[in-house]
Amino acid sequence: MNRLKELLNIKYPIIQGGMIWCSGWKLASAVSNNGGLGLIGAGSMYPDVLRTHIKKCKKATDKPFGVNLPLLYPNIKEHIKIIIDEGVKIVVTSAGNPKLYTSFLKENGITVLHVVASKKFALKCVEADVDAIIAEGFEAGGHNGIDEITTMCLIPKIKKSVDIPIIAAGGISSGKAILAAFSLGADGVQIGSLFAVSKESSAHLNFKEYVTNSKENDTILTLKELTPVRLLKNEFYYKIELAYKNNASSEELKKILGRGRAKKGIFEGDLKNGELEIGQVSSHIKNILSVDEIFSNLISDFNSQKNILSKINF
Amino acid sequence: MNRLKELLNIKYPIIQGGMIWCSGWKLASAVSNNGGLGLIGAGSMYPDVLRTHIKKCKKATDKPFGVNLPLLYPNIKEHIKIIIDEGVKIVVTSAGNPKLYTSFLKENGITVLHVVASKKFALKCVEADVDAIIAEGFEAGGHNGIDEITTMCLIPKIKKSVDIPIIAAGGISSGKAILAAFSLGADGVQIGSLFAVSKESSAHLNFKEYVTNSKENDTILTLKELTPVRLLKNEFYYKIELAYKNNASSEELKKILGRGRAKKGIFEGDLKNGELEIGQVSSHIKNILSVDEIFSNLISDFNSQKNILSKINF
C-alpha cells in the first residue's frame, strides 16, 4: 500500500515536475499514460493557453493529471477559475503561502499538493490542510528555497514532523535515487530534469542537448537575493557572476536578469542569453528519451537495485 | 558480501569520520569495538600527540582502526612516519592530491582511502591506485569541496565512473540514510556529525549541546574563497557574513578567521568566537549518546527501514 498512489489514484508514485516551458499537455499526458502523475506547468502560460493545454491533456489521457501553479505568477485567479471549470482534480502550488488557496481549491473537490524546501514550510502546509507535501532539496532545478537544505537532509527532517505523504524532489533521475528517496521516508518522488529533456518536453532541442552534454559542476544555485534559481552556467550566467564580483546591488541584478530569460533559454533555445533552469542531476542525463523509455528505465533500475539492496545484511 | 567490509576487515561498513578536535583514541576505539572503522583525526594533533593517541587506541581495541590525514596540514611527513612505526594499517587522506602519498603508504602495507567531493577527483584517486573513495557531499560538515555537489547527486555520478568501493559521506545520521546511501550505489558510509557529539568525542560539552539544540538551517557552507567549510552560525560566523556584505577581500576574510578558531569552538567550547564545524544533519541530532547506543540505533533503524522498503512494489 502506498498512500500517495491512493491519494492521486496513480500506478507509480512518480510525479513529473510542472516546469515552465517544458511541461505542456504532451509531456503531462505521456507521464499520466505511463502511470505517473503528469503536471501542466501553468507558470509560463497565459490563461487561454492553460485552458487549451488542459483540454488537450484531457483528450490525450483518461488518467489523472494535474496543474502546477506557482503562486508568484500573475493571473493566478484566472488560472484557478479555468482549473475548476475544466474539472482538473489535482493542483500543485508552489512559490507562495499554502494558506492562500488551499481551502478554496479543496472546497472545489481538488487535491492540493504544495512544494516546500524546509520543515518550517512543511508545517505551514499541514496547518493549511494541504493533502501532500513535495519536499524539494537544494539540488533541484529552477526556482528553489534559500536555505540550501539537500534532499538527503530535508526528507528525514520533514518525515519526523508531519504525517501527510511526502514526495521527495531534487537529485532524482534514476530508479536508484527513487529507492534512496523511499529509504529516507518519502512516499513518492517528483522528477523534473529528466522529463525536461524528454522527447515530449516542449523545451527547445538546443536546451535538451546542452543539458545532455553538461558536466558534473555545470549547474549553480544563484540570484539568491531575488528568487534563488538553479541553472546551467552559460554566457548569461557569467554576466551575473561578474556582477556579483563587482558587488552589484539587487536592482542591478534584476536589470541583468530582465524579463523572459527562461523562455529565451528553455523554449527558444538561446543558449547564450537564456536562463537555462535545470537540476544538479543535469550531468547524469545523457540521452533525449521518450517518456515511455524513461518510465521503463526507472522501473527496471528501481527493481534491480531493490534486489541488490535486499541482499545487504547488517 | 560487502567489498568494504572485506577491504577493511570490519563488521559494519560504517566509518567514523576523522574529525579535528573530536576524534581521538577514545572515539576511534569505541567505534572500532562496535564493529565500524574508527579514525583518529590527525589534523589537530602534533606528531607526539598523534603517537600517543595511536598507542592508546591499540590498547583500547584489537579491531582495525585508522588515521585521517588532511594533506594540507603541516607535519605530514612526521605523521606518516609515526603511522608506519606504530603499525597503523588504514589511512584516510583528504584535502590534497592523492598522488602525493598513496603509493608510499601502500608500499608500507597500508590500505589507503581518499576523500573527494567530485567525480573529477574520484578519477584522480583511481589513477593514484587508492583502495576506496570517500565521496563527500555538499551537506557534509567541516572542510568541503567548492562544487556544492550533494550526496544524492555525487554517489551515482562516481559509481558510474569507478570500480573501487565508494563510501558515501554527508547527510548521514540514521539507518534510513545509510540505506539511502546503499540505494545510490555506495558500499559503505562515513558518519561525522553524529559521532562528533557522542559521549566519546573530545569536543567540548558546550559544542555538543549547541549542535543538539540547532535548527534546520543553522549550518552554512562559507569561506569558499579560502577553504570552504560548513559550520554552525554563531557570532564568529556573523562577522564573516558582515564582511561579505562589505565586500571583504580574501585577505580580510583570512584576518577575521585568524588561527585556532576550530580549536576554540569545538575543543574549548567558545560558542561566540569559535568555528563550530558540523554537517547539515546537525539539527537531526537531539541527544548526546554513547557510541554503543549510536551503533545500536543505526543498525535497528537500518533493518526496520529495510523491512519497510522490501514491501514497496513497483
Kindly provide the residue ranges of all beta strands, DSSP E only, lying in A95-218, ordered along the sequence: 111-116, 132-136, 142-143, 166-169, 188-191
Query: How confident is the model over A190-247, as pLDDT tens digits?
Result: 999 999 999 999 999 999 999 999 999 999 999 998 999 999 999 999 999 999 999 9
Average pLDDT of the residues in A114-130 = 98
Three-state DSSP at A312 gives coil
Q: Give how far Cα A212 sits from Cα of A37, A193, A206, Å.
A: 24, 10, 10
Q: What is the pLDDT of residue A314?
A: 82
Residues in chain A: 314
Q: Which of B11, B152, B191 to mutate to test the interface with A (most CBs of A within 10 A)?
A: B152
**B310 Cβ under 8 Å from any chain A Cβ:** yes
Report the residue from A183, A216, A284 with minimal CB separation from B179.
A183
Q: What is the pLDDT of residue A98?
A: 96
Tell how many helices (H) and how many strands (E) occur in chain A.
14, 11
If we measure between CA atoms, which residue out of A261, A217, A266 comes closest to residue A239? A261
Provide the pLDDT confidence category of residue A306 given band limits of 50, 70 and 90: very high
Cell numbers that stand for A203 in this block: 523545451
The nearest CA of chain B is from the CA of A81 a distance in Å of 36
Three-state DSSP at A73 gives coil
Taking the CA atoms of B139, B140, B146 and B149 in sequence, report the sign of the dihedral they define.
Answer: negative
Which residues from B are below 8 Å from A185, CB to CB? 176, 305
Which residues from A are below 8 Å from B6, CB to CB? none
Beta strands A111-116 and A132-136, pairing class? parallel
The nearest CA of chain A is from the CA of B46 a distance in Å of 35
DSSP letters along B257-292, please?
H-SSHHIIIIIS--TTTS--B--GGGGG------HH
- A57: part of which helix (H) or strand (E)? helix A47-60
Q: Give how far Cα B11 sits from Cα of A225, B17, B90, B113, Å.
A: 48, 17, 15, 18
Cα–Cα distance measured from residue B40 to residue B25, given in angstroms and rounded to the nearest whole number: 6
Residue with cell 481551502: A103
Q: What is the ipTM of this complex?
A: 0.97
**A184 Cβ under 8 Å from any chain B Cβ:** yes
- A68: part of which helix (H) or strand (E)? strand A65-70
Q: Which of A116, A123, A148, A153 to mutate to test the interface with B (most CBs of B within 10 A)?
A: A153
Query: How confident is the model over B37-71, as pLDDT tens digits?
Result: 999 999 999 999 999 999 999 999 999 999 999 99
Is residue A1 over pLDDT 80? no
Cell numbers that stand for B10 in this block: 570490519
Average pLDDT of the residues in A22-51 = 97
Is residue A72 over pLDDT 90? no
**A247 Cβ under 8 Å from any chain B Cβ:** yes
Phi, psi of B255 (to 5 degrees): -65, -45
Chain B residue with minimal CA distance to A280? Answer: B153
Question: Is A312 in Cβ contact with B310 (below 8 Å)?
Answer: no
Structural domains in chain B plus CATH codes: 3-200 (3.20.20.70), 205-282 (no CATH)
Q: What is the pLDDT of residue A270?
A: 98
Please list the ranges in chain B whose pLDDT falls under 50: none
Provide the pLDDT confidence category of residue A167 given band limits of 50, 70 and 90: very high
